[in-house]
Amino acid sequence: MPWIKTEDCVGCGVCVSECPVQAIAMNEDVAQIDDQACIRCGKCHDICPQEAVRHDSERIPLEVEANVQWTKDLLRHFKSAEEQQGLVERMKRYFAKERKVAEQSIARLDGLLREIG
Ligand code: SF4
Ligand code: SF4
């Protein structure tokens, strides 16, 4: 899933006009991708003159930080150390479930590749 590194976008609009499904719009002179509309063709990444459209993998540290922050924000709802530890363990189980979903999805997609090829 491509994403816009907003501080690098100069608002030229090239990606908006080149996107085949109109999934990009300008918001206060910064391009914004509609994740639901995007068909993951990669065209915006290839044509952006500022290299402001970035690959998924570059977002990993940001997403990890967001997940940790999410957990920290939830901690304030729990008073005792025991309750807070319980929350952190539940969040760990949640992310472990997400990992399994990703692993099993990748395995299924490998099967799909074999069917196509
Ligand atoms: S092509 Fe790049 S710099 Fe231009 S609007 Fe799109 S993301 Fe921003
Ligand atoms: S990857 Fe393709 S469909 Fe998605 S926003 Fe970029 S140009 Fe549009």
CA distance 111 to 117: 10
Whether 45 and 80 map to the same domain: the answer is no
**What's the pLDDT at 61?**
92
Question: What is the pLDDT confidence band of residue 1, given thresholds at 50, 70 and 90?
Answer: confident
Whether 82 and 34 map to the same domain: the answer is no
Find where tokens 């085949």 sit. Answer: 20
The CATH number of whichever domain residue 34 belongs to comes to 3.30.70.20
Q: How many whole angstroms from 21 Cα to the centroid of ligand 2?
A: 7
Whether 24 and 39 map to the same domain: the answer is yes
The residues, ordered by sequence, that sit 6+ positions from 85 with a Cβ below 8 Å of its Cβ are none
Whether 63 and 48 map to the same domain: the answer is no
Nearest CA to ligand 1 atom 8: 9
User: What average pLDDT does the structure give for the chain?
Assistant: 96
User: 38: domain range?
Assistant: 3-54
Whether 49 and 94 map to the same domain: the answer is no
What is the number of domains present in the chain? 2
Whether 16 and 50 map to the same domain: the answer is yes
**What's the pLDDT at 7?**
95
Q: Are 15 and 40 in contact (CB under 8 A)?
A: no
Question: Does the beta carbon of 23 sit less than 6 angstroms from any atom of ligand 2?
Answer: yes
pLDDT in tens, 87-111: 999 999 999 999 999 999 999 999 9
Q: 54, 79, 97 — which closes off a domain? A: 54
Question: What is the pLDDT confidence band of residue 116, given thresholds at 50, 70 and 90?
Answer: very high
By residue count, the chain amounts to 117
